[in-house]
Amino acid sequence: NAGVTQTPKFRVLKTGQSMTLLCAQDMNHEYMYWYRQDPGMGLRLIHYSVGEGTTAKGEVPDGYNVSRLKKQNFLLGLESAAPSQTSVYFCASWSTGAYYEQYFGPGTRLTVT
Amino acid sequence: AQSVTQLDSHVSVSEGTPVLLRCNYSSSYSPSLFWYVQHPNKGLQLLLKYTSAATLVKGINGFEAEFKKSETSFHLTKPSAHMSDAAEYFCVVTNNAGNMLTFGGGTRLMVKP
């Protein structure tokens, strides 16, 4: 199993440009999440999905959109990037059960200039 | 709603001395709690988790944590620090359903030779 993978690993955007981050998991997990990590603030939840075709807002959703067309993929979109979106983005997945453990991807470092 | 506070943003220890990273949580129910570690420019790795079983939880690399309900604490300890322990550590609490995580702000552990 590859676990949770993220594409790309690094990206530099200019203000106003758009991009999509791809998260893929091969564990058949129902739940998927997108977080951003900023210095001194831990990880904050952007959006999440409880199943194929569903999405919901997290703590910091403004400026982002998501889609979950397939169970294994969760896409995070930035329609018009802003410098405030410079961050490290982590995807995670989780399955209902006794373990309560989220599995994290390796992260995508995004810089908006 | 649940919350978690990591009481120290930075901790510095000498190699071979004990490590104590402090975490307090707030929750209206009996939560699940985790410690994650993040090495520089890496993703998150689960160190250990508490899910209402034994209150003393042992994790990887010699770390352990004790759940103290009366003190609403979940402090992370290790008897003897190693240089490879230098990293950022996150204390995390779940919501009541177990499908949402709330992260603390992180504690950066520095280990001096």
Using the Cβ of B90 and the Cβ atoms of chain A, whether some distance falls under 8 Å is answered with yes
Contact B32 A96 (CB under 8 A): no
B13 DSSP β-pair partners: B111
The 10 Å Cβ neighbour count of residue A109 is: 15
What is the mean pLDDT of each successive set of 10 residues along chain A, which is 113 residues long? 90 96 94 92 92 94 96 96 96 76 91 97
* Residue A57 tokens, joined: 């807002």
Q: Identify which of A44, A98, A104 has the shortest CB distance to residue B44.
A: A104
Is residue A4 within 8 Å of A31, Cβ to Cβ?
no
User: Between A62 and B95, where is the model more confident?
Assistant: A62
Closest listed residue to residue B49, CA positions, set A101, A43, A104, A106: A101
What pLDDT is attached to residue B54? 83
What pLDDT is attached to residue A97? 66
Q: Identify which of A42, A94, A100 has the shortest CB distance to residue B103.
A: A42
Distance of CA B40 to the CA centre of its chain: 17
Contact B34 A101 (CB under 8 A): yes
Q: Report whether the peptide linkage leading into residue A8 is cis, meaning its omega lies within 30 degrees of zero.
A: yes
> Each residue of B10-25: pLDDT tens digit?
999 999 999 999 999 9
User: Minimal Cα distance from B44: which residue of A?
Assistant: A104
* Residue B11 tokens, joined: 């901790």
Q: What is the mean pLDDT of residues B56-85?
A: 95
What pLDDT is attached to residue A52? 94
Q: Give Cβ neighbours of residue A39 (< 8 Å, ≥ 6 apart).
A: none
A94/A13 Cα distance (integer angstroms) = 30
Q: What are phi and psi of A100, to 5 degrees?
A: 50, 35
- Amino acid in position B51: T
What pLDDT is attached to residue A99? 62
Cβ-in-10-Å burial (0-12, 13-18, 19+) of B58 comes to exposed
Q: Residue A83: helix, strand or coil by DSSP?
A: helix
What pLDDT is attached to residue B97? 78
Is residue A40 within 8 Å of B105, Cβ to Cβ?
yes
The 10 Å Cβ neighbour count of residue B16 is: 12
Q: Residue B84: helix, strand or coil by DSSP?
A: helix
pLDDT classification of B86: cutoffs 50, 70, 90 = very high
